[in-house]
Copies of this chain bind each other. A is one copy, B any other.
Amino acid sequence: MAYDVNTTTPEGEKRLRRVARICEGFGQRVQYSVFEVTCSPTLFAQLLAKLQDTVDPELDSLRIYPIRSDFKRDVVRMGRCRELPTDRSWTI
């Protein structure tokens, strides 16, 4: 999932923070405005509804690419990696 939120106005700054907060609730940030989300169809529908209420259709852009669940193997990574390994549990 990748988004471009227009931040030339204070409202845009607010939308950007809200979109990021929504995405953090469903997936893992891997770049500044790119998230990887692995969830059920029900949760995905909730995610879409929340994003639809937030994104400005005239000013912003958001794209969600469906990817095979075992995609992690095939992702090509260059440079800094932000994501936490998801193949084991974390104690917070």
The chain A residues found within 8 Å of chain B, CB to CB, are 2-4, 30-32, 34, 48, 51-52, 55-67, 71, 74-82
Nearest CB on B from A44, distance (A): 9
What's the number of copies of this chain in the assembled complex? 2
Nearest CB on B from A42, distance (A): 16
Sample (24) of A-B pairs whose CB atoms are under 8 Å apart:
A4-B32, A4-B34, A4-B80, A30-B61, A31-B63, A34-B63, A51-B78, A55-B78, A55-B79, A57-B79, A58-B79, A58-B80, A60-B79, A60-B80, A61-B82, A62-B78, A62-B79, A64-B75, A64-B76, A65-B67, A65-B75, A66-B71, A66-B75, A67-B67
